[in-house]
Structure 1
Amino acid sequence: MLTFEKAMEKYRAWMIRRNFSQRTIQYKNDFFRPFGKWLFGTHPEAYQDVRAVTCEVIDDYLDFVALKGFKPSSMQTSISNVKTFFKFLYRNDLISEDPTRKVDNVRVPKKEVIYVPHEEVIKTLDEMFIKFRKGNRYEVAVRDYFIIRCAYVTGWRASESLACNPQEDINWDTGEVYIPKRKGGGDGYVYLDQETLKKLKEWYYSNYPNGKRLWYTIGSKKGKPMKYQGYKKVFLKYFGMGSHRIRASFATHLHFQGVDVKDIKDLMGHKSITSTMSYVAKDNNKLKQIHREKNPFSKGAT
């Protein structure tokens, strides 16, 4: 007998061995908690022994999700999570058949890439100190300035930024920032330009000479390493969107500058170009120029 709880325990252990981030593991836990509750309530025999989960049980669950009015992207996320879980169990001989083998993916309409234009990022950075000249609010503005500037110039993930140890990971001469266990697989690097590097070093070591993390809280809980929610709030405060949109701004800016998408992929730590392209917006100005110069009735047309 393999209970759902025991199966999840093995799945978590596998993710830890594979060096999945704590945030990813927590996300999986949060997803499968309601799935387990549904399974217990509708198919208790399958909850007590996941080997009793059949294709019909999976169909029942997907019908349940669909009737809740989930969007196609959310439906696909549910399908992907369930497939990954049961494929893990099947590959490790914990179940004799994969009950998700007949499940088709959902066609998700392609969305326009949401990003913050370069001019807006620069304008925001330039104006961050106008209101605050001293005190805690000024300290917060300075810290937030470097959080945003570093995110934009490196394109790193929130988890990579929050885990950065300046004493060990940043080469203060070259601007190379070592990123262990990148999500895309293996270790890697992101890069700080010399101006950012100089300003960051001066600010950081004047405030946290013995710090082990790059970002700390300010205020009543001053001096504690910043967590994801606090990091996310910085970008919501200034741009009304999360840090991933600044990551898209980084990728899009490089693309607009003519950088090859393969190089953008490596800088962002992706395994595939498909992942990278989900961060790169279309250059509408370039498309207009191409059409203006190359359309069938342009002067240069042959």
Structure 2
Amino acid sequence: MISPAARDALQGWLDAQKALKGASDNTLEAYGRDVAGFLAFITQHNAEAQGIAALARVGVSDMRAWMAFTRGEDVGARSLARKLSAVKSFYRWLSEREGFDATAVLSARAPKFQRKLPRPLAPDAAQNLIDTLDMQSETPWVAARDQAVVTLLYGCGLRISEALGLTADVLPMGDVLRITGKGGKERIVPVIAPARQAVARYVDLCPHDLSGNSPLFRGVRGGVLSPRAVQKVTQAARAQLGLPASATPHAMRHSFATHLLNAGGDLRAIQELLGHASLSTTQAYTAVDTARLMEIYRNTHPKGR
């Protein structure tokens, strides 16, 4: 049982994450679950309601006990690291607000884990997947819609949430799109001709009114198209082609970045196109290795040739 004071503090932190960092609803929900789980454990562990003063007294032994308990619940190292990150962020905010020393919590070490990278598709496999999406529905406008969405993921490197968040006021689609990504960060992405053509074909066939700021991509009944619907049709297409389970909508965005990099694209330019806040994220996302970076360096640096 979490005390009212702890619950209020948790809600205050979540509100701050949304207001200051633009965290999405899904992210906030995950943060809330992770920190609430920690607070519930600390309450049971210390056998008393955890008000702000009690939370300020959480020590190294408490953190070790929580991490051991969490691992004992069959939680993997990666998930525990995510939970610990949320708890640290909460304590950083709470300690600044309440004026206590949170070193015991902030110094807790996350378990090491090997980062899993999404696997890119080969260029021909990506194109085959897009082509096959056009055959997954007997309703022409639905088939055109699915193909248009995934073409935008691969052709522009959009997140699925960004593609499905587009509104009809982008029509007719031009050479660039202004995308609002994570944290409310805006970026400009070029739109290749096949993507524009795929969207135009969908718009011509769509039976729903596409005007103003209404959603661009619609479900069968006219509501906003759900990510799950795109995932399901992609799953059907990859099964038809015999592609691995890693051939997901997200893998199309990853393939966009990887294919650009392999063609000699600049890493910082790809970072901007993807909307990553830091270059290190782009390096992990595109599975850049030292050999590839050195090859780019030797081929492009004036002193290296």
TM-score by length of 1: 0.80
Name the structure, 1 or 2, with higher relative contact order (CA <8 Å, separation 6+): 2
Instruction: State the partner residue of 2:272.
Output: 266
The answer (yes or no) to whether the contact 1:86–1:98 under 8 Å persists in 2 is no
* Pairing 1:254–2:253 present: no
Cα distance between partner residues in 2 of 1:36 and 1:105: 18
The answer (yes or no) to whether the contact 1:178–1:189 under 8 Å persists in 2 is yes
The answer (yes or no) to whether the contact 1:254–1:264 under 8 Å persists in 2 is yes
Instruction: State the partner residue of 1:27.
Output: 30
Q: CA deviation at 1:61?
A: 0.9
The answer (yes or no) to whether the contact 1:158–1:243 under 8 Å persists in 2 is yes
| 1:212-244 deviation per Cα after TM superposition (whole angstroms, max 9, x unaligned) | 1122212xxx11112333344344443434432
> Is the partner of 1:250 in helix, strand or coil?
helix
The answer (yes or no) to whether the contact 2:145–2:199 under 8 Å persists in 1 is no
Instruction: State the partner residue of 1:298.
Output: none
Cα gap change, 1:236 to 1:93, in 2 (>3 Å): farther
The answer (yes or no) to whether the contact 1:155–1:251 under 8 Å persists in 2 is yes
Instruction: State the partner residue of 1:64.
Output: 69
Structure 1 unaligned segments of length 5 or more: list them: 291-302
Cα gap change, 1:114 to 1:43, in 2 (>3 Å): farther
Q: CA deviation at 1:209?
A: 3.5
Cα distance between partner residues in 2 of 1:195 and 1:244: 19
> Is the partner of 2:111 in helix, strand or coil?
coil
Q: CA deviation at 1:22?
A: 1.9
Q: CA deviation at 1:269?
A: 0.3
Cα distance between partner residues in 2 of 1:100 and 1:94: 15
Q: CA deviation at 1:147?
A: 1.4
> Is the partner of 2:188 in helix, strand or coil?
strand
| 1:123-182 deviation per Cα after TM superposition (whole angstroms, max 9, x unaligned) | 1222333465x43xx443222111111111111112212221131xx36363211123x2
- Corresponding residue pairs, total: 278
Structure 2 unaligned segments of length 5 or more: list them: 239-244, 296-305
> Is the partner of 2:265 in helix, strand or coil?
coil
Instruction: State the partner residue of 1:77.
Output: 82
Q: Within 5 A, what are the aligned runs for 1:23-172?
A: 23-45=26-48, 47-49=50-52, 50-93=55-98, 95-111=100-116, 113-130=118-135, 132=137, 134-135=138-139, 138-167=140-169, 170=170, 172=172
2:42 maps to a residue whose letter is L
Instruction: State the partner residue of 2:196.
Output: 197
Cα gap change, 1:27 to 1:161, in 2 (>3 Å): farther
Cα gap change, 1:6 to 1:95, in 2 (>3 Å): farther
> Is the partner of 1:190 in helix, strand or coil?
strand
Instruction: State the partner residue of 1:244.
Output: 250
| 1:14-41 deviation per Cα after TM superposition (whole angstroms, max 9, x unaligned) | 0221222222112212333433433333
Cα distance between partner residues in 1 of 2:99 and 2:236: 47
Alignment equivalent of 2:15, drawn from 9, 13, 18: 13
Q: CA deviation at 1:2?
A: 7.1
Q: CA deviation at 1:96?
A: 4.3
> Is the partner of 1:278 in helix, strand or coil?
helix
Across the aligned residues of Structure 1 and Structure 2, the Cα RMSD in angstroms comes to 2.8
Cα distance between partner residues in 2 of 1:102 and 1:278: 25
The answer (yes or no) to whether the contact 2:152–2:195 under 8 Å persists in 1 is yes
TM-score by length of 2: 0.79
Q: CA deviation at 1:72?
A: 2.4
Cα distance between partner residues in 2 of 1:104 and 1:147: 41
